Amino acid sequence: MSEMNGDPIFICEAADVEEGGKGVRFLVTAGGEDTTGFVVRYNGAPYAYLNRCAHVPIELDWAEGVFFETSGLYLMCSTHGAIYAPETGRCEGGPCRGGRLRSIMLVERDGQLFWQPDDYIRPARA
């Protein structure tokens, strides 16, 4: 289990993340590299992951914030079509079967979403 490092960081209003719809990207530093995380909503709950495919370390979204495939049941990598279960980040098909997205701890409080830094995923560098 990762250790928490620092206070939760505001992402967006919870209402900005629609069920099975567009996600919201946010800046992070992962393993010393500047990149993004994202939050989506599935079955009423928000989930956040590092925006990096388990197959090849590239961003998943087709266009800004578009992570779900057309049925709205899976997150899909725009490059090679790997599909992930939104509630677990586990790869369910495609070139990374058995791999998983790196989850980011989320806090939903007072109608707002925050992410919690850990020992690997830290606040974006200024």
71 CB-contact burial (10 Å; exposed 0-12 / middle 13-18 / buried 19+): exposed
- Both structure tokens of 8: 């939760």
Quickly state the pLDDT bin for 1 (edges 50, 70, 90): very low
In contact, 106 and 41? CB cutoff 8 Å: no
Q: List the structure tokens of 2.
A: 């990762």
In this prediction, residue 126 carries a pLDDT of 63
- Across 1-126, the runs of DSSP E, i.e. the strands, are 9-13, 24-30, 33-42, 45-50, 75-76, 83-84, 91-93, 103-109, 112-116, 121-123
**Interval 51-101: pLDDT, tens:** 999 988 899 998 999 999 999 999 999 998 999 999 999 999 988 878 999
Quickly count: other Cβ atoms within 10 Å of residue 87's Cβ: 12
At the topology level, CATH places domain 9-123 in Rieske Iron-sulfur Protein (2.102.10)
